[in-house]
Chains A and B, each alone.
Chain A
Amino acid sequence: MTATLLKLAFAGLRARLLATTLTIVIGAAAAATLVIALEVRATGVDPWQRTFDAAHGAHVLMTSSSLADAQAVARLPGVAERDDPVPSALGQSTIGGHAEPVILAGLGTRPTINVPVRIDGATQPGAGVVLERSFADAMHIGVGSMIAVAAPTGTVRLTVVGTAISPSQARYPRSNPGVGWVSRDTLQRIQPDQQRWSWSEAVRLTDPATAPRFAEAAAAALPPAPDGGRTIVSWQDQRDVALMDSQPIIVVVGMFTILLLTVVFAVIGILTAARVAAQYRDIGLLKAIGLTPRQVSAVFLGEAGALGLAAVLVGYPVGAVLAPRLAAPSAQTLVGSPTIAIQPWHALVASAIVVPVLLLSAYLAVRRTTRSTTLGAMLAGVPLPVTSGRIARLIGRVRLPLTAALGVRDLLARRRRTFWTATAVAVTGTVIVATLQMRAAIDHPAGTVTDVPNELSALVYSLDVVLIVIAVTSLVAVMLLSVRERLRDLGVLKAIGLTPHQITSSLVSANALLSAAAGLLSIPLGIGLYLAVLNMTNGTTRGAVFAPWWHVALIPFAVPAVVAAATSLPARVAAAIPVNQAIRYE
């Protein structure tokens, strides 16, 4: 029996190839979105850990104006490894004609803990300077460039011999001034007065987990610093500070993931329900030949499961290919490598979400029909005209052109489908409105100082493109299916005298009217969603920045325009099908 049910399931998939293909495409979009979210999120954590490991990072890092403090920390119990204290001094550099303060750290010949991790060029500064990567990027300089640093004896010119990152150095300009590493001799030349040096002591502990307690104990053990110029930070603190830059990216990716999945799952629900609805008669026939409701459900769940797995198989590679491209700008803001390792288990996570959503959609769609009588199931797919009720009366009063009235009557007769189509459009509009608010929140006039990393805009733009592609694909899919379902009726309309142009107008105008209403609804919903997400991420909606009203006011026009375009092509194709072929369509 199982083999027979499977055979029936696959026969159903083959028989409705368009719906099958569309469901796989949209399911694949969901899987790809999940994979991208997981991979990009991984860039927020993994690179810091990798950087820390590569740098042989300090479990505790103390900076003080006193060399004695540094030496005292290194002698405290619990220290497993220590390095020589590293001196640093503030210099005034000139880079590309601009004066820019810079902290110069004088490295010893063989640093062993908290070693700068090379990104480009040389590891050791020699007679030049190795600049921290985000600082070099912000200054638009690279290996081979020259910077001038003021010194008592005159200007010292240093060649940038490399760029590096450090797990204890947050991104410039959040951590300002920027950092450069020079040799001890160079530091001596730039700042000969050692009273103006600071000292850093990097230690590793026998038990890294005790770093916060060690830091507290060290602060208590040392004599009070008269100038307050002493900091003792654990590796956990370093990580939190470093990841502050990636936090907005994780929040943005998280928000987009939720928004994209909302659109995609709404559309999956519609497509699955449409597929089942198109097979109501088949359900009745299956019951008529002796299948139990459970077996009928099994056939449809088998179909949905197969579609879900196919969607993940298609979506995972797409997500895996796109993720590094989206992660690269976000990884720039981290103290880590922009490369990320693709995790095969993310495919399992995507399957664990996409497949159950499809199964649930199919179950809910098929449940009603399997519970009805066999005859009821066979009649369940027949749309019935709306001749009474408030909406019908309202439509009757509004003098719409005949073609538009026909389209609207059809939408009203297929209320369930119309509800879900409107939901898909409203969800899409809602997401776009919320995105516009987000964009307004992160946009800032050129040249102004902002805490938002520049790369965040690139990421949001990339995700905007992904969102729009998925939203438009979803709308086209829904409209294509909707037109396909009506082929037979369209043939009849042609037979009684509607021209192809009138048929296209009927479909386009009705869907455009529906989507205009849904677009209007999406404005308050989108602003509400934005405020809800803001509240979730910031704990408050105070200080919310909103998009200019004319951006939002475009939505009730832009959404119907996209829907009209999405409906127009399949409608034209359908209207061109000869009557004798169209009326044979089941």
Chain B
Amino acid sequence: MTPVLEARALAKTYVSGGAHVRALDGVDMTVERGEFVAIMGPSGCGKSTLLNLLAGFDRPSTGEVWLGGQRIDGLSEAALARLRRRRIGFVFQFFNLLPTLSVRENVELPLLLAGKHRRAARRTASILLDELGIAERRNTAPALLSGGQQQRVALARAMANSPDVVLADEPTGNLDSDATRAVMELLGRARGRGQTLLLVTHDARVAAAADRIVRLRDGRIVADGRLEPARSVPDLLDLGGDT
């Protein structure tokens, strides 16, 4: 298998109130193409920091980040932005949809940025929204959607350009069980298309859908294990009501 994403001795130290806080402390991790990896751990263990560094949202204090054989931690902001357009999709816990654009325009934007023609972008966005079951809300303002619907739009936006890697920071952290199931179904479909998924979660049932679980504690990987394949995502997420 080819590693699509790699962290080498990745460390991040923040300075807060004069004190140095080591959020990530020498993380080595390799993610293979098409793999679904769940990152777990208690609050403050460095999960989100790791995801931010892998997405190029922040610079590591030391260490390296490699994407598809290219080292990306030293790239300029502009180069990182161009890289994200086609190769990385990111899903935030709090959706972070652009409030001044409609649902359809939010999904169209990455396509237009990637150079797609306006008409083609519109068509792709419509297909994605249709798949996600929110086609009828395409002209609605994101603020008027439920949390689950917003997260589906965020997923559509992240996957619009079929990126190599989809990074998701607690994508179900704010959702009820139905919405969680819907989001996980979508992630399962992406995986089925051969996309690589890296997901931060607190929820063991969500993590159970992954091929592999990486556990972090105090900025270090304390466990990295594979799960048995076979079960489908909806089976795993038979949550039995709200949790």
Is the pairing of A and B real?
yes
A264–B44 Cα distance when bound, in Å, is 47
Counting CB contacts under 8 A, is A576 at the interface? yes
* Across-interface contacts of A205 in B (CB, < 8 A): none
Per DSSP, chain B at the interface is helix
A400–B101 Cα distance when bound, in Å, is 16
Residues A500 and B99 in contact, CB atoms below 8 Å apart: no
How far in angstroms is the closest Cβ of chain B from A505? 12
Contact count band on B: 20 to 34
Counting CB contacts under 8 A, is A339 at the interface? no
* Across-interface contacts of A498 in B (CB, < 8 A): 81, 113
Given contacts A383-B100, A489-B98, A579-B58, whether A496 and B84 have CB atoms under 8 Å apart is yes
* Across-interface contacts of B212 in A (CB, < 8 A): none
Residues B78 and A500 in contact, CB atoms below 8 Å apart: yes
Residues B143 and A384 in contact, CB atoms below 8 Å apart: yes
Residues A494 and B102 in contact, CB atoms below 8 Å apart: no
**8 Å CB contacts to B: which residues of A371-417?**
379, 382-385, 387, 402, 406, 409-410, 412-414
Nearest residue in B to A577 (C-beta to C-beta)? B77
Residues A387 and B77 in contact, CB atoms below 8 Å apart: no
Instruction: Report A252-273 CB contacts with B as 1/0, cut-off 8 Å.
Output: 0000000000000000000000
Q: Which of A406, A498, A579 has the most CB of B within 10 A?
A: A579
Binds A, one of B28-36, B104-112, B171-179, B225-233: B104-112
Residues A402 and B112 in contact, CB atoms below 8 Å apart: yes
Counting CB contacts under 8 A, is A278 at the interface? no
Counting CB contacts under 8 A, is B55 at the interface? yes
Choose among B52, B86, B96 the residue that contacts A492 (Cβ–Cβ < 8 A).
Answer: B96
Choose among A379, A493, A495, A499 the residue that contacts B143 (Cβ–Cβ < 8 A).
Answer: A379
Residues A493 and B99 in contact, CB atoms below 8 Å apart: no
Residues B55 and A495 in contact, CB atoms below 8 Å apart: yes
**8 Å CB contacts to B: which residues of A534-586?**
575-576, 578-581, 583
Residues A409 and B96 in contact, CB atoms below 8 Å apart: no
Counting CB contacts under 8 A, is B47 at the interface? no
A499–B110 Cα distance when bound, in Å, is 12
Residues A494 and B114 in contact, CB atoms below 8 Å apart: no
Interface residues of B (CB under 8 A from A): 48, 52, 55, 57-59, 77-78, 81-82, 84-86, 90, 92, 96-102, 105, 109-110, 112-114, 139, 141, 143-144, 157
11 A–B contacts from the bound complex (CB under 8 Å): A382-B141, A384-B99, A488-B96, A494-B81, A497-B110, A497-B114, A498-B81, A576-B77, A578-B58, A578-B59, A580-B58
The list of the 7 closest CB pairs from A to B, nearest first, reads A497-B85, A413-B100, A579-B57, A499-B78, A499-B81, A580-B57, A580-B52
